[in-house]
A and B are shown apart, each in its own frame.
Chain A
Amino acid sequence: MKPAPFDYYRPSTLEETLQLLTEFEEEAKIIAGGQSFIPILNMRLSEPGVLVDINQLSDLEYITVEDGYLKIGALTRQRTLELSSLVQQHVPLLSEALPFIGHLQTRNRGTVGGSLVHADPSAEIPLALSVLNAEVVLRSTEEIRTVEIGDFFLTYLTANILPHELLTEIRIPSANILPGYAFVEFSRRHGDFAIVAVASQLAADQDGRIHSGRLALGGIDAVPVVADDAINILIGRQPTDELINQALELALEDADPDDDLHASREYRLQLARVLAKRALLTAYERALKRR
């Protein structure tokens, strides 16, 4: 038994949950899948006084398409999302990203919402949702607010969510889903944290010219880096090697990766160039096929 002692609350409704968060504020931590959080507790890196277990809130486990959005309940397990035919059909980019997360055994329990609020800069779901320009819904007893994913990640392991708020839903606007997509990642072993991961989306016209796109890179900064300037260089043109290199120089201009145990700063930047090129070319090929 390793975690420090805590008071355990297991609410059965959303209202009870939000009331507990309002009552305890910073003292409480929410536990959902726990696949990142329980290791932190086991190693006593965190010793919260109160744990609010939201696993009974089965109303927050769903995947639906409605009102021009693909909506994912925050408590949806990563493995459920990975196997969902609705996701494979509507957002194949997500289906491609999911198998990179941890292992099958942790995806069985880990949740989509948990991965977002944990805000690990190399995590796959935050990166995929960044390239899809998704929105998250945050609820408290007082209000419901919707935050664009670009405003959600603040820095390492820190998201734009208040202690009395609960992330309840992820919304991907259908209009943001482009026909060409790719998710590529490099890690030392399968299931390890990504050293660098890249997600890309592209759409091309009849002549093979790119008419819209997005590119996001993970593992090179404190939050996922969305490189809109780089994509702008490609708009209206067919991607050549030279053009892509030029775009990627711009994409990585402000990137500020750390040296750490796993890779040096230079290695990460070089890896980002290689993987981003691969992602753009794959997304482009798929865009041509599905135009």
Chain B
Amino acid sequence: MDKVLRDEKMVVRVSINGTVVEDTVEPRKLLSDFLRENCGLTGTHVGCEHGVCGACTVRVNGKAIRSCLMFAVQADGSEIVTVEGLAAEGRMHPLQQAFSECHALQCGFCTPGILMSSVELLEQAHVPDRHEIIEMLSGHLCRCTGYKGIVDAIEKVVGDKSQ
């Protein structure tokens, strides 16, 4: 059993975008704050801090989750992918490319979270239809685009993948 008193810190060891990171944190530190403050990964945005807006979505052990609704100590031992982990060898992920081409972002605040949920959707066994994409997007607030460009971008990548 692990036990950390309120004024103590606990060692957290996680793999983030393939790199092992170790740090000590108070048990009340949210994963979103851990990523930004301890790891310097500010691509994960913090909006509402109570699970509504979806901006802070990252993948923990392959699942898209709200990093503001999880404590860093709870992520101990897990594999995390943030938006910084999408591009490989200086080349954008196909989703990032499609978001650019389809004008799927304006201010970009919500974009990292949407990308992380979309990557999970793309890895499903079956090809998601437009309805499924819209349902997934219901977990993300975007106040700029009206969502059309976002749905188009995801559909474009889905289409390319299924060919």
User: Measuring CB to CB, which residues of chain A are less than 8 angstroms from any residue of chain B?
Assistant: 1-12, 16, 34-35, 38-39, 41-43, 51, 53, 55, 79, 99, 102-106, 108-109, 189-191
By the criterion CB–CB under 8 Å, are B4 and A7 in contact? yes
CB distance from A177 to the nearest CB of B (A): 26
By the criterion CB–CB under 8 Å, are B117 and A105 in contact? yes
Chain B residue with Cβ nearest A12: B1
Cβ contacts under 8 Å, B1 to chain A:
9-12, 16
> 4 smallest A-B Cβ distances: which pairs?
A103-B139, A8-B27, A39-B50, A5-B6
Known: A10-B2, A104-B64. 8 other contacts (CB 8 A): A8-B27, A8-B28, A9-B3, A38-B71, A105-B57, A105-B139, A106-B66, A190-B138
Residue among B4, B10, B71 with most chain A CB within 10 A: B71
By the criterion CB–CB under 8 Å, are B69 and A109 in contact? yes
Cβ contacts under 8 Å, B10 to chain A:
8
Question: A43 and B50 in contact (CB under 8 A), knowing A6-B6, A6-B28, A191-B138?
Answer: yes
CB distance from A237 to the nearest CB of B (A): 37
Cβ contacts under 8 Å, A34 to chain B:
69-71, 74
Chain B residue with Cβ nearest A79: B63
Chain B residue with Cβ nearest A191: B138
Cβ contacts under 8 Å, B3 to chain A:
7-10
CA distance A44 to B12 in the complex (A): 24
Cβ contacts under 8 Å, A189 to chain B:
138
Cβ contacts under 8 Å, B73 to chain A:
8, 10, 53
18 residue pairs A–B, Cβ–Cβ below 8 Å: A1-B30, A1-B33, A2-B30, A5-B7, A5-B26, A5-B28, A7-B3, A8-B3, A10-B1, A34-B70, A38-B30, A38-B50, A39-B51, A103-B139, A105-B65, A108-B63, A109-B66, A191-B139
By the criterion CB–CB under 8 Å, are A51 and B27 in contact? yes
Cβ < 8 Å to A, chain B residues 24-68: 26-30, 33, 49-51, 54, 57, 63-66, 68
By the criterion CB–CB under 8 Å, are A104 and B49 in contact? no
CB distance from A115 to the nearest CB of B (A): 14
CB distance from A102 to the nearest CB of B (A): 8
Q: Confirm or deny: B129 has a beta carbon within 8 angstroms of a beta carbon on chain A.
A: no
By the criterion CB–CB under 8 Å, are A104 and B6 in contact? no
Chain B residue with Cβ nearest A108: B63
Cβ contacts under 8 Å, A191 to chain B:
138-139
CA distance A41 to B28 in the complex (A): 9
Cβ contacts under 8 Å, B70 to chain A:
34, 38, 109
CA distance A104 to B28 in the complex (A): 25
By the criterion CB–CB under 8 Å, are B138 and A106 in contact? no
- Looking at the complex, which one of A6, A41, A55, A190 makes contact with B135 (CB distance below 8 Å)? A190
By the criterion CB–CB under 8 Å, are A103 and B30 in contact? no
Q: Confirm or deny: B5 has a beta carbon within 8 angstroms of a beta carbon on chain A.
A: yes
CB distance from B29 to the nearest CB of A (A): 5
CB distance from B34 to the nearest CB of A (A): 9
Q: Confirm or deny: B136 has a beta carbon within 8 angstroms of a beta carbon on chain A.
A: yes
CB distance from A118 to the nearest CB of B (A): 13
CA distance A118 to B26 in the complex (A): 26
- Looking at the complex, which one of B28, B29, B51, B66 makes contact with A4 (CB distance below 8 Å)? B28
CA distance A6 to B29 in the complex (A): 11
Question: A106 and B26 in contact (CB under 8 A), knowing A9-B2, A10-B2?
Answer: no
